[in-house]
Amino acid sequence: SGTPTLIVQDSSDTTTGSDGTWATLKTFTIQAAQTAERLTVAGTVEKGLRIAGTGTFVGCQIVCGVRRGLAVDSVAYTGSQA
């Protein structure tokens, strides 16, 4: 319950996952009974990635997958072949 806000961040100079300078790539708020959300970003994504959470909430479970590649790479996953 509650309203968690998740912030996807990247860093080019982190060595431990908590040090370094972090920039926000995407921010989103989880809605009640939400089951999935897909986020895409354009441009460079730095080597360090993390998810930070804010808000007042209880019992939030988060699963995150990351795939690096080109925007056109998604064509291979839709079943379409050019």
pLDDT, tens digit, for every residue of 18-63?
Answer: 888 999 999 988 877 777 888 888 888 898 999 888 888 887 788 8
Q: Which residues contact 30 (CB under 8 A, 6 or more apart)?
A: 3, 4, 5, 6, 37, 60
pLDDT value of residue 9: 93
pLDDT value of residue 21: 92
pLDDT value of residue 76: 54
pLDDT at 72 over 70: no
Widest CA span of the chain, in angstroms?
A: 47
pLDDT value of residue 11: 93
**φ, ψ (nearest 5 deg) of residue 50:** -150, 165
* C-alpha span between 40 and 22 (Å, rounded): 18
pTM of the full structure: 0.71
pLDDT value of residue 10: 92
pLDDT value of residue 61: 80
